[in-house]
Chain A
Amino acid sequence: MPSLKITARFIIALVGTVLFAWCAAIGFWTHDHAERRDAALDSHARLILQDLTLALETRLSLGLPLAQLPEVDRLLEAARLKMTGLRAVAVLDEQGRALFSTDPVEIGEQLLDKAGVRMGGGRRVEGEDEIFWLPVTNDYGSQAGVSLLRLSAGTSRDGGVDFALSLIVRAAPTLGLLCLLAVALGYGLARRLNRRLALASGALTQLLGNPEVGVAAIGPAASLGLPLADFAAATAARHHRLAAVEAELVRLDELA
């Protein structure tokens, strides 16, 4: 900021600080909110999966294979309605292929790889979706399949964007007021300094106009910690000496 005037420099420094702090605080709270919302969605999704898995395991106790369990579609639909943003709820076989799903297009599709099936539950982001899954076990303790739900990743992202926008809107009046305050403070601070600088430059200008006046030209208010008095005295002494020489030369000129 080489050519900026003091007032502009002070105002920019203070307003810039206000803007930065505002952005930093909004960023911090958005980040924190995203973390918490993510954790809450995670436990909500797991709860739904646990319920579904429990219901499936109860039905498996009847002795039927997973693919032939009755009323699974009703269970899945009921699970899907428990949470907003759920794209699909599905039951997969041991290979990760969909046996039942609230999204009929998915039936027969490989929704989870074998490594995922063997993991015994987890969470993964796949494209625009986030999937959660839990193993479904039979009475003998071996894995009969997997219950899976697909949540739109946009649900969490949109929640974060909504939060940030809401916070920005709520904090905007404060930002406006504090920017005005920063402008006023920067202006006031620069004004005080400019007044003192004006006194100092005035004293120097006076010294320039009447160099022999010396220390008398310098008021205490104009000092700013500058060695004005010494400088004025040294300047005046040299002007005095030069004035004396000039006078002598005039005398000699006249004498000649």
Chain B
Amino acid sequence: MKPRGTPRVAPVHLGATYLLPFLAVLLALVVLGVVSLLGFGETRETLTAVRVAGATAAARSIATDLDRAIGYGVPLTELPGVEPYLETRLGSLPELRLFLVTGPHGRRLYHSGITASQLDALLAQVTPERLAEAGAGEGVARLDIDPFALVRVPLVAGSGAVWAAVEPGEIDRTLTRKIMLSWPFWLGCLLLALAWAAVAARGGVVEPLARLAEAMRAGGEGRFDRLLVRRARDGVGQCLLAFNAIVAGLHARRLGVIEQAEDVRHAVFDQEVAAAAAQATALADLGEGLASPPARCRDPRASDADLFALNLAAAGMMICTDRLVAGQDPLPILLVAAGSLLVGLGLGWLIGWRRLLAVPLAILFLGVILVNVLAAADSLAALVIDGVAAGAVGLAWGLAWRQRRLAKAAGGLGGGSWVLLAGSLAGLALAWGLLGDLASISVGAVVLAAISLGGALTAPGRTG
């Protein structure tokens, strides 16, 4: 029996539960911040080393050319065209900031990249002690003088040195800019955290308590016509159990009274007493709400399919986005994706939430992601894979919407479709942040599809 009741379910007051999504977002933000700080430092360190190696190679190359000229007997101070040559070499490595050629006593002879006055200020900080510390006497030396990392390559017979510099601070600026420009990626992570926590809170606490509130409200109006059979073994489950016991107790007492009245009526021959007993039986009839035994309410919940659907949508969007911008003609891919999305949506709506179907679907999609890695360049494969990915997104939306409708029709909480939107947007944003890196995108999609599979395995089957 479908319980009658007002379709609109008033929310319950669960302050602590509503904190869960915010705490999840806060924790995700802290993790992203801390790992990014470490990643920033690590990247700065390794990139500086790689760039210094490049600067060393460039300085060595210039030193070789100058040594050759010196070898022909031309004094370093009289070499023609050195500065234009340095300018040309500076353009060959974009991360290089300056080249400098100094004479035997460290005096500036030729330079490119920065002004003479800036160079003089820099050279003023290069003391013999610092040079000795850097091992300048033994060959190539590295000195860190703010804001540069300098490399010094000596020329033949102490005739001078070639200097090259990179700017580690420039790496900081580039990395900071990258972090800022990657805001969709960070937002995608936060959206997923928010959606997961919201699904956990809705499925475990908000929806069952809203169902209890609705049943109690009906009871308050005299309709003790339902028992809530779907219970977890926790505080919420105990509340539902107590509610069921009260309703069942009321029905049992009423039936007891009716039986007692019948006994009294049949046991006596006194017409007045029998009439009074019949009157008492009528009094025990407490209205339609207690007229028949309570129905067992199966309680389909909107969130039942959410963990599966939102992660499948996110994984699908990741693959779809990567394929869409993989360098092939986007129009056919867009058309196929849009068509598949609509077909998936319709199919999802028709099928509805079925765990037995969701599990193989998630496994199938995991297989598709693996094929995606292998069939990287083929345009037909791109069309097929994009179609499957968009179909998965549509399917996720379709069955999650159908489940919402089912839950609402059964008097439960509907709504909460924003978690699906959050999942889809998160997939888009994560793929955007890793664009062009098929391996990383595939790993991300595999993780999401695996969570989707976990969601399908742990969710209840079809209820209602």
Which residues does A use to contact B, with CB under 8 Å? 1-7, 9-10, 12-14, 16-18, 20-37, 40-41, 43-44, 46-48, 50-51, 78, 82-84, 159, 163, 166-167, 170-171, 174-175, 178, 181-182, 185-186, 189-190, 192-194, 196-198, 200-201, 204-205, 207-208, 211, 223-228, 230-231, 233-235, 238-239, 241-242, 244-246, 248-249, 252-253, 255-256
Contacts and interface: CB of A to CB of B under 8 A. Distances in A.
A3 B232 contact: yes
A24 B189 contact: yes
Interface in B226-275: 232-236, 238-239, 241-243, 245-246, 249-250, 253-254, 257, 260-261, 264, 267-268, 270, 273
B20 interface: yes
Closest 9 pairs (CB-CB, A-B): A197-B235, A29-B39, A230-B220, A225-B13, A204-B242, A25-B35, A256-B268, A13-B200, A21-B31
A153 B270 CA distance: 106
Contacts of B92: 43, 46-47, 50
Contact of B11 (A163, A225, A233): A225
Given A171-B35, A238-B250, A256-B268, A1 B307 contact: yes
Contact of A246 (B47, B192, B260): B260
A84 B49 CA distance: 13
A16 B224 CA distance: 40
Q: Which of A18, A84, A242 gathers most chain B CB within 10 Å?
A: A242
Given A167-B38, A242-B253, A245-B283, A225 B57 contact: no
Contacts of A29: 35-36, 39-40, 42-43
A181 B60 CA distance: 52
B53 interface: yes
28 contacts: A1-B200, A3-B232, A6-B205, A6-B236, A21-B29, A21-B189, A24-B32, A24-B430, A25-B31, A28-B434, A31-B434, A31-B437, A40-B54, A43-B92, A44-B53, A47-B57, A174-B35, A198-B238, A204-B242, A205-B245, A223-B13, A226-B12, A226-B209, A242-B286, A246-B260, A248-B276, A248-B283, A249-B261
A192 B286 CA distance: 39
B193 to A, nearest CB: 4
A36 to B, nearest CB: 6
A70 to B, nearest CB: 15
Contacts of B201: 10, 13
B25 to A, nearest CB: 8
B236 A27 contact: no
B128 interface: no
Nearest to B249: A208
A47 B197 CA distance: 51
Contact of A252 (B46, B54, B280, B286): B280
Contacts of A227: 213, 216-217, 220
B80 interface: no
Contact of B196 (A17, A31, A223, A239): A17
B255 to A, nearest CB: 10
B450 to A, nearest CB: 11
Interface string B357-377: 000000000000000000000
Contacts of A200: 235, 239
Contact of B38 (A170, A192, A205, A238): A170
B46 A37 contact: yes
Nearest to B284: A245
A161 to B, nearest CB: 12
B31 A22 contact: yes
A185 to B, nearest CB: 5
Contacts of B234: 5-7, 194, 197
Contacts of A2: 203, 232, 458-460
Contact of A248 (B64, B205, B233, B280): B280
Given A32-B178, A238-B290, A245-B261, A211 B39 contact: no
B141 interface: no
Contact of A230 (B216, B268, B440, B459): B216
B95 interface: yes
A40 B51 contact: yes
A21 B440 CA distance: 14
A99 B44 CA distance: 40
Q: Which of B27, B36, B224, B286 gathers most chain A CB within 10 Å?
A: B27
Contact of A33 (B10, B46, B221, B260): B46
B24 A26 contact: no
Contacts of B224: 235, 238
B158 to A, nearest CB: 22
Nearest to B19: A189
A228 to B, nearest CB: 7
Nearest to B41: A170
